[in-house]
Chain A
């Protein structure tokens, strides 16, 4: 298929050759896309909680409250990243929590608990990547995803999060639960991804 590559490159060069002066890359400050007034002087965790709520996500700083919430909704069976489990196990009395994720039984897991790589306070976003996510499927297929976010990894705004993407091959920003408005423009949550996006900040 090298021939086709050459053909396309040749056509691109031919198309561009008559242009006298090519458009320059503009100099701009991406600060302009940041809602700075809203962010000024705010605590990152508080702000993240607020902004997550705006997109129908929910943030917990207290593991008891998180467990009570899961329990109250009847979400008692799930998966947890084995790295997180030693610290969490004591709180999950009466739950069935698997430390191995079995892709042939995706419907069995009501929740998946995995580590986040960070978060973005401005947009209420959870940042996942392959380095911190034990299994892509476990963060995606259960109805509830609980992302465990370390306080120090919360970016304040979107440009900062872009600058901090790092070398990971698969970075995913999750801003609220999966949703669609395809049917008559009516908002429905939980299409292919989690219907409930929670975060536990530690």
Chain B
């Protein structure tokens, strides 16, 4: 039998990787739940509100996007628009070239992964260095992140130590403290030598044009203290209506993603620095990226655009825990990725990732933990339906033809029900397959009761 690509990838995962993904996702999920339920009376109500806030925002983007643009411009930022990945990359390059810049330091942004910016810039002679520790390791290993919050959840310290040794960052040492301080030492001089700092944004308030950036390591802070030019790549769905909504969203983001009340650094940026501040970008560019998002907005799965990329649905998902992130073959793994990735492929690319929505038992855990209350299982069903409508092949699905035939012919069905009584008299101790025989020795099959309901119905009718 053939299998779906995601199943094949999951089956090939090394047991030690599976174990490490399983353990750390489980631990984070448990801490998240404890924190939310110990500190709040009704965290589910908070999730519902946050979901409504974001749903309202994406359903009113036609008004909010121009509003944000006007605010940002008034604050001294330059605003650009990119409808495709390619255009976004080109616009970043253009800004760099206009400044004569050759070095960029990057904070972690999912959009830049999505458009493969670092590779693009590398091909055009620009050093674009990842500064988030996990992303830095992914970059030196020419690997891909496997989790949206914890990019190297699939790597162990020994692999990392070998990579550091290979890159000349010191003799082999797999102590996490040493690994971290070596990265600190190496990267701080890179920030100071770079001309451009690139970040994403977690939220942008339409009311004030404030962009909000959260990190634990402080790398986006460093980008915005050391460099002279700030480029922010922002998906158009990151808008929130008001500053007021940030308290709700930030409290949920920290707790849901990493089980922290607040992420260590929360930055609120409204424009380039003023003349009084010696450090930081004098020039600020914001690039709003579509890259398939308007297609998602048009689809019946637009709720997925509420996502605040916390990673909670990955941590709780039984499929993600077994398959890890690479099996999803995209920047966004896990339940959110199973919805978002096929959609972002656009109308013509959907088939390539149509297996992802099927990699779910529809247990609903993702919906239960989502801080913006996205009904992911419903969206998965809609996408399965779409794949079916579009006639996309589904390898690994058991053949149901004979069953369908039987179930749609009343006479054949009745005959089968009666004939199956034979099962009650099968000599199961003579089963030809040893494994089945062994199983049968311990257990008894329930008695076949096929046709009983029909009997009851017809008797009931007669009695009337």
Contact = CB atoms under 8 A, between A and B. Distances in A.
Interface of A: 1, 4-5, 7-9, 11-16, 19, 22-26, 28, 30, 32-33, 35, 55, 103-104, 106-107, 123, 125, 130-131, 133, 135-137, 140-141, 158-159, 162-163, 165, 167-186, 188, 190-194
A130 B279 CA distance: 9
A9 B297 contact: no
A73 B120 CA distance: 46
B232 to A, nearest CB: 13
B406 to A, nearest CB: 41
Nearest to A19: B59
Given A184-B20, A192-B188, 18 more contacts: A8-B288, A8-B290, A8-B294, A11-B290, A12-B294, A25-B52, A26-B49, A30-B247, A33-B40, A136-B278, A169-B273, A171-B268, A173-B268, A184-B157, A185-B28, A190-B180, A190-B181, A191-B217
The 6 closest A-B pairs by CB, nearest first: A193-B218, A15-B298, A11-B294, A136-B225, A136-B279, A191-B217
Contacts of B176: 183-184, 186, 188
A7 B280 CA distance: 33
23 contacts: A1-B82, A14-B294, A24-B52, A26-B49, A28-B49, A32-B49, A32-B248, A55-B260, A55-B261, A55-B264, A106-B188, A165-B243, A169-B272, A169-B274, A171-B267, A173-B268, A174-B264, A179-B216, A182-B133, A183-B157, A190-B180, A191-B217, A194-B218
Contacts of B236: 8, 12
B218 A178 contact: yes
Contact of B39 (A4, A35, A133, A190): A35
B310 interface: no
Interface in B65-94: 65-66, 75, 80-83, 87, 91
Nearest to B279: A136
B83 A4 contact: yes
Contacts of A171: 267-268
B246 to A, nearest CB: 5
A105 B313 CA distance: 44
B135 to A, nearest CB: 9
A169 B265 CA distance: 16
Given A9-B66, A158-B247, A179-B264, A26 B56 contact: yes
B177 interface: yes
B29 to A, nearest CB: 12
A78 B347 CA distance: 58
A178 B216 contact: yes
B109 interface: no
B307 interface: no
Interface stretch (B148-156, B323-331, B357-365, B374-382): B148-156
Contacts of B218: 140, 178, 191-194
Nearest to B249: A33
Task: Output the residue of A30, A103, A130, A193 with the most chain B CB within 10 A.
Answer: A193
B102 interface: no
Nearest to B66: A9
A69 to B, nearest CB: 21
A147 to B, nearest CB: 13
Contacts of B53: 25-26
Contacts of B6: none
Contacts of B20: 184
B390 interface: no
A188 B160 CA distance: 15
A92 B179 CA distance: 34
B45 interface: yes
Nearest to B213: A172
B52 A180 contact: no
A44 to B, nearest CB: 17
B222 A140 contact: yes
A83 B244 CA distance: 33
B342 interface: no
A136 B252 CA distance: 28
A66 B19 CA distance: 44
Query: For A4, A19, A24, A180, which residue has the most chain B Cβ atoms within 10 angstroms?
Result: A180
B447 interface: no
A174 B221 CA distance: 10
Interface string B409-424: 0000000000000000
Given A19-B59, A140-B225, A141-B188, A177 B264 contact: yes
A171 B58 CA distance: 26
B219 A16 contact: no
Contacts of B23: 185
Contacts of B278: 135-136
B244 A178 contact: no
B96 to A, nearest CB: 16
Nearest to A161: B247
Contact of A172 (B60, B66, B150, B266): B266
Contacts of B244: 30, 159, 162-163
Contacts of A11: 83, 290, 294, 297-298
Contacts of A169: 75, 269-274
Contacts of A183: 133, 152, 157, 160, 176, 179-180
A33 B46 contact: yes
B156 A184 contact: yes
B221 A9 contact: no
A13 B65 CA distance: 11
A33 B261 CA distance: 11
A162 B82 contact: no
Nearest to B243: A162
B268 A181 contact: no
